[in-house]
Structure 1
């Protein structure tokens, strides 16, 4: 039996290549947009990719089913309720696909979305019972999927509870291989970075899975929902719509062209490290390091799908890699990249801006010398925050937040320094004149006790 987990680490997505090397046939479950690894592994293992299976219409990333079907001639299969516009073979609960001695069985598991389906895997050469289940966006390691991306959240949670009962009926030793790892917006805060688990382990250690009472499960499942993935409705539309078999061209731009595109309204995204950005960057650019996990998610929060994006890297390869990550979240209007990277901008003697970096100890030692903006999510703020700080999640910053003086120092802080890097650049872009990027730590290392009193809910202003 051939079994490979292939991940998209930036988005925390997991896909699977499953097949039989003796029969020379395989399928791919939930392919990511970059299909080269599936082609390379299948070629190396001597199998043909003849089938593509989708657990559901994904809401957080663009599927590679179109590109993979074009490259291999494989048939795409998805549950009947998905109702996509592309050519496919629909299936229902209980449908089976034979790949040599390997049998893939569909388990309709609504909750995350109505069409959601898990796939039980049986290696008939070894035994009749499923040895693994690809749970997609239903059961995760340590958590369950969010229920609010297609239906009312309470209705979705009730469906999720029923679906989990079906999954728990699988053999205790059955391995659990999820569609997402820790860091994905499709799960909750308890989702683990571990790549797999078992039915028995999740039943014993996953609090939501072990909850038998449906109403108690619903209450817990919806109590700590994170903000919905940015552009999720547009991404679902892309995944349901006509097949996309290629990628848009990526044009190199001179510094003069970048400046002209920015003046015409293009959004400049600097994908270098936050340290390089803080040192010098194009004025008005947004910091979003592509070397850090979550680049695509952050980009989808701050970018407009109907507006050109210009990428600035350390060099051309930096920008090209970031363009591939951008496409995975449906940000396809890449107007080009700065040829030669930031070095060419500086060689052209064009203006630059910078951000002052401080650590938590330095910020604390300043006492009242800076206004503090906490840019974490609301549930993190409620759990504990610095007394006197102002709260606004980084992705809601469309101007200088109320309660802050744009002409006085503003320190952007998060949990580690990654989100605060994005926030600091957004504050500069909004007109703040003295922005501090708190790096190398965050709220959790503040020397004084944190305040856990919930603040009033912030209502974002117009973008």
Structure 2
């Protein structure tokens, strides 16, 4: 039997190649947009990809089902309630697909979305019971899915609770759990683990959400921990529902003069280098979203407008091309190009640059003591702010900075803090775009470390 998990580390997505090498048949479950890895694995293992299975219409990444179907002739299968606008074979609860000795059984598990389906895997050569379940976006390692991306959120939470108790938790304790997402994905809660798999028995015993047996309490706790909705999830769902998307986006190298023209015309310039490199020198008005850290695509989705052209700036051309690949994966397609030669070429031609001052957290404390009027902006999420924040600080989540937050003086320095310094880098660049004259990027820790330094924190 063939079983391979393929992860998209930036988005925290997991897809699967399953099949039977003796039968020469395979299927891909929840494919990502870049399909080369599936084709290479299939060739290596001597199987043909005959089927593409979708657990649901994804809201966080663009599916590769159209590209796989075009490349292999595979049939796309999705639950009947998905009703996509592309050629497919719908299935219902209990449907089975035979791939040699591997039986794939559909378990309709609505909640995250009405059509959501998990797939139980039975190796008939070894035994009749499911040895694994591809749980999609219902059960994760350490958490469960968010309920608010398709229907009214309390209805979605009730659906997830019933799908767990009536379907997934009835599987054997030894059944392995292989989820559709790992920690860091926008489709789950804060308890999601980076571990790639688990078992039904282990999750039943140690997943805190599964200990909540009362449905009303489950709903209340699910809604209480919800983060903000991803900004472009409806656009991604629309892309995934069809017509089939088979083409990528060509990105071209741009000379510094062309980048300047695009910037003047309103294009969003996204600098994908490290925050240190950005702070030292960057194109005026550029937004800092480091690509070397996980979550680049998710952050870009918050900042970018689907109707706005995007230009990438990296260390070199390869950075620009890779950033474009990650952008296409989240449904952004108005990609004008990337700065040829990276930031070095911009500076070599004598073009203007900006800098961002970096302040170590320990030094910030001394600055606050010397200047009690120094403006502080906390850019974490609401739940983090409520749990403890610096007295007198202003608050605006980083992804909501599209103008200078009310009460802040653009002519006076603004120190930007988050939990560690990572989100503060993006927020500082957004503040500069919004008109703040002097922004201080606080590094070396954030608000939690401020408390550990013995400085006061207050609870909302």
Q: Contact 1:384–1:450 (CA<8 Å) still a contact in 2?
A: no
In structure 1, what is the equivalent of residue 295 of structure 2? Answer: 294
- Counterparts of residues 27-42 of structure 1 (less than 5 Å): 27-42=27-42
In structure 2, what is the equivalent of residue 359 of structure 1? Answer: 360
- Counterparts of residues 12-27 of structure 1 (less than 5 Å): 12-27=12-27
In structure 1, what is the equivalent of residue 340 of structure 2? Answer: 339
Match for 1:432 among 431, 436, 453? Answer: 436
The offset of 1:210, in angstroms, is 2.0
Counterpart CA distance in 1 for 2:402 and 2:41 is: 44
- Counterparts of residues 314-329 of structure 1 (less than 5 Å): 314-329=315-330
RMSD value, Cα: 1.0
The offset of 1:451, in angstroms, is 3.4
SS at match of 2:208: coil
SS at match of 2:209: coil
In structure 2, what is the equivalent of residue 408 of structure 1? Answer: 412
In structure 2, what is the equivalent of residue 83 of structure 1? Answer: 83
Match for 1:453 among 430, 442, 459? Answer: 459
SS at match of 1:233: helix
The offset of 1:366, in angstroms, is 1.3
In structure 2, what is the equivalent of residue 265 of structure 1? Answer: 266
- Counterparts of residues 381-400 of structure 1 (less than 5 Å): 381-400=385-404
SS at match of 1:4: strand
TM-score of the superposition, structure 1-length normalised? 0.96
Q: Deviations over 1:371-395 (max 9, x none)?
A: 2111111111112222221111111
The offset of 1:233, in angstroms, is 0.5
In structure 2, what is the equivalent of residue 458 of structure 1? Answer: none
Count, aligned residues: 454
Query: 113-122 or 443-452: which moved more?
Result: 443-452
Q: Contact 1:19–1:27 (CA<8 Å) still a contact in 2?
A: yes
Q: Contact 1:230–1:297 (CA<8 Å) still a contact in 2?
A: no
SS at match of 2:337: strand
Counterpart CA distance in 1 for 2:263 and 2:220 is: 46
| Cα pair distance change 1:28/1:402, threshold 3 Å | same
In structure 2, what is the equivalent of residue 149 of structure 1? Answer: 149
Q: Contact 2:15–2:32 (CA<8 Å) still a contact in 1?
A: yes
Q: Contact 2:378–2:394 (CA<8 Å) still a contact in 1?
A: yes
The offset of 1:452, in angstroms, is 4.8
Structure 1, unpaired ranges of 5+: 455-463
In structure 1, what is the equivalent of residue 276 of structure 2? Answer: 275
TM-score of the superposition, structure 2-length normalised? 0.97
Runs of 4 or more, structure 1, over 3 Å off, are 449-452
The offset of 1:336, in angstroms, is 1.0
Counterpart CA distance in 1 for 2:149 and 2:211 is: 23
1:420 aligns with 2:424: yes
Structure 2, unpaired ranges of 5+: none
In structure 2, what is the equivalent of residue 101 of structure 1? Answer: 101
1:188 aligns with 2:189: yes
Q: Deviations over 1:332-373 (max 9, x none)?
A: 100111111111101110000010111211111212533211
The offset of 1:236, in angstroms, is 0.4
The offset of 1:449, in angstroms, is 5.3
Counterpart CA distance in 1 for 2:8 and 2:458 is: 35
Counterpart CA distance in 2 for 1:371 and 1:99 is: 63
Query: 411-420 or 265-274: which moved more?
Result: 411-420
Counterpart CA distance in 2 for 1:226 and 1:148 is: 10
The offset of 1:409, in angstroms, is 1.3
| Cα pair distance change 1:189/1:452, threshold 3 Å | farther
